[in-house]
Amino acid sequence: MVATTELDRMTWYRCEKCGLLVDSEMDAEQHEECCDGDSGSPSYWW
């Protein structure tokens, strides 16, 4: 599930599996589909 975070008056979307922050909800959702979880090394970046 994608979580939202506000930083510098911008909304960021955070992957709850690995903690990756992106500025687009669509990118975050796409990332999460490919994310391999809490290994610390995302399989998909941007």
- Provide the binding-site residues for Zn ion, judged by CB under 5 A: 15, 17-18, 20, 35, 42
Which CB, 13 or 35, lies closer to Zn ion? 35
Provide the minimum distance between the beta carbon of 27 and Zn ion in the complex, in angstroms, as a whole number: 11
Provide the minimum distance between the beta carbon of 44 and Zn ion in the complex, in angstroms, as a whole number: 8
Provide the minimum distance between the beta carbon of 23 and Zn ion in the complex, in angstroms, as a whole number: 15
Half-sphere exposure of 42 (CA within 13 A, CB side): 19
Residue 25 near residue 13 (C-beta atoms within 8 A): yes
Nearest to 42 by CA among 5, 7, 14, 9: 14
